[in-house]
Structure 1
Amino acid sequence: MTVLNRRDLLRLAAGAGAASFLAACAGPGDSSSDTGATSGSGSGLSGPKEGDISFAHWRAEDKEVFEQIIGEFAKATPKITVRQDISPSNDYQSTALQKLRGGSIGDAFTAFRGAQFLAIAEAGVSTDLTGQALLQKYETSLITAGATGGKQYGVPYQLVFNTPLANTDLISKAGLNEAPKDWQGFLALADKLKSQGVAPIAWPGGDAANAGQLLNVLVVNNAPTDDALGKIETGEHKVTDDWFLTVLKQYAELRPYFQTGFTGTGSDAALALFAQGKAALLATGSFQVSGVRKLGATFPIDLLAPITTTADKARYEGVHNATFILGVNAKSSKQGAALAWLERLSDPAVAGVYANGTAQHVTVKGVEYTNPDLKALAPWLTRKTALAPRFQFTDLDIRGAVENATVQVAGGKSPEQAAEEAQKVIDQKKK
């Protein structure tokens, strides 16, 4: 049960045991831990720990915190200079591999979980980190997304929740102190919010990188199996299947509850709408909490996922992801320095600076969380959440066709027509 009133949230944030509880927690719905990899050297790493290196990533909102960490790193390791090369997430998704292949950008780099990570690894751009001592610093259960073919090519750094953010002041004003337990309850909440003159849901339908985050929570309880979304790519499932048509029909039901012009709304505009208190939910995830705060929002924030089934059939309360996968570029001539930078980020104290400065949970063990929002979201670390299914796709064109169908339906197209058109694209792509 997700408690959403302000008093309970403040009590959570003030709890004396919150930081130690978070530090000990292995991950969403999982209390298990592991000793990690054994120390040693991964294949391919070479070069002295010195030089000017490029750190390529897409999180512009993290720039200041990384600069702080870089400054301290420079004092401890004066022979290494780190430069951030930051691209917008859409650009990074589409151009990072090409840039990394050249070796001049991204001596150390990040990758999105799923298609991008696999493409970079398969292209021989990711250095094998198997056996590196830094892996011992991470919760083993949370870094599997950085492995393929039995080798660890990267380390997921962030533990995020791809679950809508909720302004709990507006939710409480609507007369609700608990998250709705079923689909009808969610629609009833949306009606109450709309009657109060706010947009129930701010959705960046015009931003391909973030529009699909909503798909995660609409799929997990509708799908026949946890890997059903990925099986659309293999042909074992189709978007014309009944379960996925149910997902599309629910997008149609949400039309009245998105903000005006949602199919053309970018991520920054949706973020601003939520931060200004003009929308009750932001249909992206916890990775945007820091952005909300930077815009001056002071209201309490929780997570609230629409439960798309009846309460008795719901398997998950939300969605999580382990992403922002750190890697060393195999094409770089400064791999030793790049590895030293990753080792620095893997230190629990440094990971704590990153986590608390960006309002991002991390996969590093032993981190003390002091950020009030991280403490408030602490219960989600042990709730039943599914690993974000949209990243099961390894072909971005197929993922794009599926996600575009959801935007088309939200914009007014019939679920059946959108599904048929998307399936044609998928079938053509598979030939």
Structure 2
Amino acid sequence: MNRTPAHLPRRSALHLFGIGGLAAVASACAGPGSGSGGDTSDEGLATDGPVEGDVSFAHWRAEDQQVFADLISAFTSEHPEVSINQEISPSNDYQTTALQRIRGGNIGDLFVAFPGAQFVDMVSAGLYADLSDTDVVGRYEADLISAGSQDGVQYGLPYQYVFNQPVSNLDVLESAGVTEAPEDWDGWLAMCEAVLAAGKVPMAWPGGEIGNAGHLFNAMVMNNAPSDDMCAKIESGEYRCTDDWFLTTLGQYAELRPYFQDNPTGTAVEPAEQMFAQGEAALLVTGSFHMAAVRQLGGEFPMGMMAPITVPADEARYEGISNATFILGVNTASDNQAAAYEFLSFLSDPANATTYANGTAQHVTVADVEYDDADLAATSEWLDRTTLLAPRFQFVDLDIRNAAEQACIDVVGGSSPDQAAEQAQRVIDQRIES
């Protein structure tokens, strides 16, 4: 991976450490074919049929609805015998109900999964057709789509590439005298002190939403843990929340208490975004996927990214956190796989992926994409940096993941690291033993 060149201008150095519930009907509404929802992964992918009929595209990104509608319009102008309906659910609903709905044949000729637990469950249920031998796979950056493979089979294609690490307001940081990203934990705390002294909130953190609060967890454990598969080993019982490395992490959460906004464990993501967009906070402690929302809220300052390095600089294995998300796949139960695959191929064309990326302010995994969006261009350097795939998505059991991440929230809320770790481990032990 590329490293930041030495002797950069101060603003450039900060940029390189970061970045400068409805169903939408595109045409006639129809569900996928009525095949069985069992393990049909051995049936292969039927791509040689006629490209016609109704296609259901199931996903959770309501904010991408219009960009997808524009792409669908372009696709159906090329294939007038096809109609495509976006079936959009809120992300929480999608996580809990999509498998049953897709398996039942109600939605999703083309569908997506969250990486980690949901993808594993959908593969186990036989929902994903095998894409390994199709032409479309070669259009992607091979090292960015591993989240869509299992046991050597490419079941899905992660479409977005995001960075689950704090987004920074470069103007606020410079006004506080911070011109370089901290290289170690002492530097991170010193940065927070400088921002606090300048009258700003160092870190706007949505600690009231465990799903968004957990993005910080990724960076806090990435260099502390004894191995990169730390969350999988917590789930297997090989590692415990009462281990020294995890207690160290919880102790560092305690050190961050003075640097969050008031009532951090009761703050949802929208107020945190607003605080950051209004220039009241130096960092939005979520990820690159919220940059577009910041712009929509009126934020006009240059943005960057930086992740807390919790160890001495010479012991840091990773600079930040990345994740390949929104795993596209064709439903094995679909009676219209040819049209669904053709639309997947259309989305995978670099020109169309460029339209999606710039229209949604999201990096993508398709090769040869050009980023015209200023924030994407400023952060594209991170695609080549030394990042760890978000470890929280190693958890397959969401109760175990929530227990580990809740320990961090509890510490910020005032619990001692020992107390929070013991409580989390009790929950995890019960899940492992059940």
CA spacing shift, 1:11–1:382, aligned 2, 3 Å:
closer
CA contact (8 A) 1:4 1:168 kept: no
CA contact (8 A) 2:15 2:304 kept: no
What is the TM-score with the length of structure 1 in the denominator?
0.89
SS at match of 1:377: helix
- What is the percentage of aligned positions where both structures have the same residue? 56
Distance 1:366 1:44 in 2: 26
Q: Tell me which residue corresponds to 2:408.
A: 406
CA contact (8 A) 1:163 1:214 kept: yes
CA spacing shift, 1:4–1:416, aligned 2, 3 Å:
farther
Q: Tell me which residue corresponds to 2:22.
A: none
CA contact (8 A) 1:5 1:172 kept: no
Distance 2:175 2:109 in 1: 50
**Which amino acid in structure 1 is aligned with residue 266 of structure 2?**
G
Unaligned runs of at least 5 residues, structure 1: 14-40
From 287, 290, 298, the equivalent of 1:288 is 290
**Which amino acid in structure 1 is aligned with residue 58 of structure 2?**
A
Distance 1:245 1:288 in 2: 29
Distance 2:384 2:408 in 1: 30
Deviations 1:302-345 (A, max 9, x none): 10111111112111111111111001122222222211111111
Q: Tell me which residue corresponds to 1:108.
A: 110
Distance 1:371 1:115 in 2: 32
**Which amino acid in structure 2 is aligned with residue 340 of structure 1?**
E
CA contact (8 A) 1:274 1:292 kept: yes
CA contact (8 A) 1:320 1:388 kept: yes
CA contact (8 A) 1:162 1:319 kept: yes
Distance 1:284 1:249 in 2: 20
SS at match of 1:117: helix
Deviations 1:323-368 (A, max 9, x none): 1100112222222221111111100000000111112111111111
Q: Tell me which residue corresponds to 2:96.
A: 94
Distance 2:263 2:85 in 1: 38
What is the TM-score with the length of structure 2 in the denominator?
0.89
The alpha-carbon deviation at position 4 of structure 1 amounts to 8.4
CA contact (8 A) 1:89 1:209 kept: no
Q: Tell me which residue corresponds to 1:348.
A: 350
Q: Tell me which residue corresponds to 1:45.
A: 46
Q: Tell me which residue corresponds to 2:133.
A: 131
Q: Tell me which residue corresponds to 1:159.
A: 161
Distance 2:13 2:386 in 1: 20
SS at match of 1:272: helix
CA contact (8 A) 1:4 1:302 kept: no
The alpha-carbon deviation at position 229 of structure 1 amounts to 2.1
Distance 1:51 1:67 in 2: 17
Q: Tell me which residue corresponds to 2:38.
A: none
- The answer to whether structure 1 residue 235 and structure 2 residue 237 are counterparts is yes
CA contact (8 A) 1:61 1:291 kept: no
CA spacing shift, 1:411–1:56, aligned 2, 3 Å:
same
Which aligned pairs between 1:10-21 and structure 2 lie closer than 5 A? none
**Which amino acid in structure 2 is aligned with residue 43 of structure 1?**
G
The alpha-carbon deviation at position 376 of structure 1 amounts to 0.8
- The answer to whether structure 1 residue 177 and structure 2 residue 179 are counterparts is yes
Deviations 1:71-97 (A, max 9, x none): 111211112222222222222222221
Distance 1:11 1:321 in 2: 18
Distance 1:9 1:421 in 2: 39
CA contact (8 A) 2:17 2:181 kept: no
SS at match of 1:379: helix
**Which amino acid in structure 2 is aligned with residue 224 of structure 1?**
P
CA contact (8 A) 1:221 1:308 kept: yes
Q: Tell me which residue corresponds to 2:393.
A: 391
Deviations 1:381-401 (A, max 9, x none): 222111111111111111111
Distance 2:275 2:340 in 1: 39
Q: Tell me which residue corresponds to 2:29.
A: none
Deviations 1:105-157 (A, max 9, x none): 12211111111100011011112212111111111111111111221110011
Distance 2:292 2:382 in 1: 17
Distance 2:258 2:248 in 1: 17
CA contact (8 A) 1:108 1:327 kept: yes
Distance 1:81 1:4 in 2: 51
- RMSD, matched Cα: 2.2
Q: Tell me which residue corresponds to 1:18.
A: none
Q: Tell me which residue corresponds to 1:26.
A: none
Distance 1:158 1:117 in 2: 15
Distance 1:424 1:106 in 2: 38
CA contact (8 A) 1:229 1:392 kept: yes
Q: Tell me which residue corresponds to 1:310.
A: 312
CA contact (8 A) 2:195 2:202 kept: yes
- The answer to whether structure 1 residue 329 and structure 2 residue 331 are counterparts is yes
Q: Tell me which residue corresponds to 1:201.
A: 203
Stretches (4+) displaced over 6 A: 7-13
CA contact (8 A) 2:17 2:305 kept: no
**Which amino acid in structure 2 is aligned with residue 281 of structure 1?**
L
Distance 1:271 1:122 in 2: 36
SS at match of 2:411: helix
The alpha-carbon deviation at position 64 of structure 1 amounts to 1.8
Of 242-251 and 80-89, the range deviating more from structure 2: 80-89
